[in-house]
Structures are given as C-alpha cells and as structure tokens.
C-alpha cells in the first residue's frame, strides 16, 4: 500500500526533473512538495497511508518501544 501511494507523487517530481523522482529527488524535497499539496487541499490519493508508513519507519529506528505500546 505505501509503495502504491508513493507512485502517486511521481508526477509532482517529474514536473521539474522529467525523470523518476527516486533517482534525483531527495526525500526531504519530496515531503516538502507533498506538504505544500496537502496545504493546498490537493493531497494525492494514498497520502495518509504513505505518511503513516513513513512515520512508522522512522519510529522503528528512533523509538521502537513506542510502536510496541501504540501499534
């Protein structure tokens, strides 16, 4: 599911680079672009699933016990 939601962000990155975002865009830039689209009320389908997966990956590294308490 998260991989599917990431695909919906590809058109955003291709507006500038015309190449797959994974090759040229750092994740931070991709997330800033996504945040701007969310603020504009134009979040791509699958955004919530993507963000939950992204935060989950970060928490597994930074605070794994948090995930154990709040699955």
Q: What is the pLDDT of residues 21-57, one digit of tens each?
A: 455 568 888 899 999 999 999 999 999 999 999 899 9
Token pair 């995930």 is found at 67
25 neighbors 13 (Cβ within 8 angstroms): yes
Side-chain-side CA neighbours of 6 within 13 Å: the count stands at 12
* Greater model confidence, 53 or 12: 53
Q: Which of 41, 13, 8, 43 is nearest to 27 (CA)?
A: 13
């Amino acid at each position: 599911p998260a991989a599917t939601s990431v695909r919906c962000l590809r058109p955003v990155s291709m507006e500038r680079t015309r190449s797959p975002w994974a090759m040229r865009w750092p994740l931070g830039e991709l997330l800033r672009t996504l945040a701007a689209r969310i603020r504009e009320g134009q979040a791509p389908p699958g955004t919530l699933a993507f963000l939950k997966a992204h935060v989950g990956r970060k928490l597994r590294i930074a605070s794994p016990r948090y995930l154990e308490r709040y699955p």
